[in-house]
Amino acid sequence: MTRTLTTAAIALALAALPTIGGAQSFQAGQPIMWGADEVSRTTTALSLRGRAELTQGDSRIRADRVEGVIANGGLSRVEATGNVYFVTPEQTIRGDRAVYTPSNDTIVLTGDVILTQGENVMTGGRLTYNTRTEAAEMDGGGQNGRVQGVFYPERSGT
């Protein structure tokens, strides 16, 4: 019975993960705005330090430091470290480190990851999310080395 409940909770958690795909993900074609306390840029790299932020559409990555690799006129890899937040209109994901790779549409957050969507919360050590397919996987870590969550059913008439 416990295994069935655990499987159901994981399925619910993954189904409850909001879409970061489409217009909300960091996608080619939309301008990327950036800002920080200190900035350095070369033809192949962008370094943002202190209240670093990259914004594209309705999505935002904030961190203490963001390093970007520039190739073919765009960001080919983004690594954020220290107090990392990936924010969309529907969710907030917090971690210690994040790596976004546009070539495979994947963002990986590690280190005490907390995903919130409304009242729903899921925690773990590593979250891998494909912004194109919307496939997600949360691995253990965090408290007790487990993935944990609290999910509230949708309420009608409230």
> In the prediction, which pLDDT does 7 show?
32
Provide the terminal-to-terminal Cα distance of the chain, rounded to the nearest Å: 32
Residues in a beta bridge with 52: 63
What does 83-135 look like in DSSP terms, one character per residue?
EEEEE-SS-EEEEEEEEEEGGGTEEEEEEEEEEEETTEEEEEEEEEEETTT--
- Enter the tokens of residue 150: 């609290």
pLDDT(11) > 50? no
Provide the 10 A C-beta neighbour count for residue 86.
Answer: 26
Token digits of residue 41 = 């840029």
Stretch 143-156: mean pLDDT: 82
Query: What pLDDT digit, counting tens, does each position of 107-137 carry?
Result: 999 999 999 988 999 999 999 987 677 677 8
**Does domain 2-150 sit in CATH 2.60.450.10?**
yes
Structure tokens at 155: 């309420």
Q: How far apart are CA 112 and CA 34, in angstroms?
A: 25
Encode pLDDT of 52-104 as tens digits: 998 888 889 999 999 999 888 778 899 999 999 988 888 889 999 999 988 88
Residue 95 structure tokens: 């971690």
DSSP state of 2: H
- The one-letter code for the residue type at 6 is T
